[in-house]
Amino acid sequence: MNWGFSLSPVWVLIIINFLFFFAALISRRVLFNMALIPADFLDRPWTLFTAMFMHSTTDFWHIMFNMIALYFFGRTLTMLVNEGKFLLVYFIGGIVGNVLFLLLNLSSYSLLIGASGAVYAVAGALVVMVPNMRIMFWGLIPMPLWVFVIVFLGLLSLPPFVSVGVAWQAHMGGLVTGLVAGYFFRKRGRYYR
């Protein structure tokens, strides 16, 4: 029997992220087994991928901001390019961000967690494709997407603006990946500007 309900890839990713979050709330071992720790990477290579689904269990806003951004940016990108290309940008952006963090912190025991690199990739692709798309920052301040991405996701994600413990390398790796993907998508299609 067909109930006419299906989950989009964006919703599936949001659900998976929250499942990992709640699993980590129940057991801290989940967080440590799935987080990317550069110094332990060779013993736990799967964490290059799984770290994208883990979020801080002591800061609920970490997962909330990432999932809200994923919902809005992910839906828009999916409408523009299709579900497969959206997923490609999301996963490649997240992995490239994690690789950049890994390469710049090889001997570190810092934990890398979060979907930010993947979400930044989606935002990066959108900013190239539809730079003047209007967004409401904090639901209150209207601005073009390019201002939000360049100022808030780009410049304010770099030292010295970023808080200690924030993986700016993952953010920038994801953002650059998204910018490149957006360039190729835009070159091959027509999008409103």
pLDDT of res. 193:
41
Domain span including residue 171: 9-188
pLDDT of res. 54:
93
Measured in whole angstroms, the distance separating CA 70 from the mean position of its chain's CA atoms is 7
Beta bridge partners of 112: 36
Which tens digits make up the pLDDT trace of 129-171? 988 878 776 667 787 878 778 877 776 676 665 565 677 889 8
pLDDT of res. 58:
82
Which tens digits make up the pLDDT trace of 92-107? 999 999 999 999 988 8
Q: Is residue 65 part of a domain?
A: yes
Q: Is residue 4 part of a domain?
A: no
Q: Is residue 3 part of a domain?
A: no
Q: What is the CATH number of the domain that holds 123?
A: 1.20.1540.10
Total number of domains in the chain: 1
Q: Is residue 166 part of a domain?
A: yes
Q: Is residue 2 part of a domain?
A: no
**CA–CA distance, 19 with 85 (Å, rounded to integer):** 24
- pTM of this structure: 0.88
Are the C-beta atoms of 77 and 132 separated by less than 8 Å? no
